[in-house]
Amino acid sequence: MDTTPDRRTRKRMATRQSISDTATRLFLERGFDRVTVDEIAEAADVGRMTVFNHFPRKEDMFFDREQEIQDVAFTAVRMRDTGVTPIDALGFLAHRLIEQEDSLIPLFEGAYRFVETVLASEALKARARQMRDDFTNALAAVLAETVGSPTDDPHAHLAAGLIASTWSMAFTEAQKIFDRTRDESEARRSFLGLIDRGIAGTSAALAGTPYA
């Protein structure tokens, strides 16, 4: 079966990417709060409503890879090899993304400007917190689903919360190291070291459950 997007879909995807790229450039240059949707529309050569058709909220243009990150994490849990626990699958994912130098873990110069822009905007910080909460709840549901437990299983929510905290803290600490040393290798070693500790701790906390 041919799964290649049709011409109309390709044009829609290209427009969405153009808006996202334009918005990100303006946000990084001037700060999120200083850029209006009208300015983004003009710079991207589209109408204001076209922007909102692709991105219901201004914050969505900045965090435009949120769904992609979720999809990658959930696929790692659902498609894990036989004998791999749901918790370990997310640890292995971190190692794979680092080995492949995937841009989902941007421990390099561009990430500094990204983080700096977030920290300078209350709206982006609030959206980041909401995204983390949403991701944690969605991950808990996926974890429960893969072991045949109800979606409100408290063990699934405990595992998801610990894992989300581990990834968030590991990225933050690794970025601090890179900002200080400009040593990408050291930053990535720190990231994976903290991921491994967090995954081990989560597995210990969930010992005796199907998640570990």
Tell me the CB-side half-sphere exposure of residue 191, using CA atoms within 13 A.
29
Which one, of 145, 167, 171, 165, lies nearest residue 156 by Cα? Answer: 145
Question: Does the CA dihedral 160-24-126-188 come out positive or negative?
Answer: positive
Look at residue 7 in the predicted model and tell me its pLDDT.
Answer: 84
Q: What is the pLDDT of residues 140-176, one digit of tens each?
A: 999 999 999 999 999 999 999 999 999 999 988 888 8
Which three-class secondary structure state does DSSP give residue 79? Answer: coil
Please tell me the predicted confidence (pLDDT) of residue 67.
86
| Per-residue pLDDT tens over the stretch 82-126 | 999 999 999 999 999 888 876 666 655 566 778 888 889 999 999
Highest-scoring range by mean pLDDT, 13-22, 54-63, 123-132, 200-209: 200-209
Q: What percent of the chain has pLDDT over 90?
A: 70
Looking at per-residue confidence, does 159 or 187 come out higher? 159
Closest CA to 16 of 58, 49, 61, 59: 61
pLDDT at residue 106, rounded to an integer: 62
Mean pLDDT of the chain: 90
Domains of the chain, first to last: 7-61 (1.10.10.60), 66-205 (1.10.357)
Helices H / strands E in the chain, number of each:
10, 0
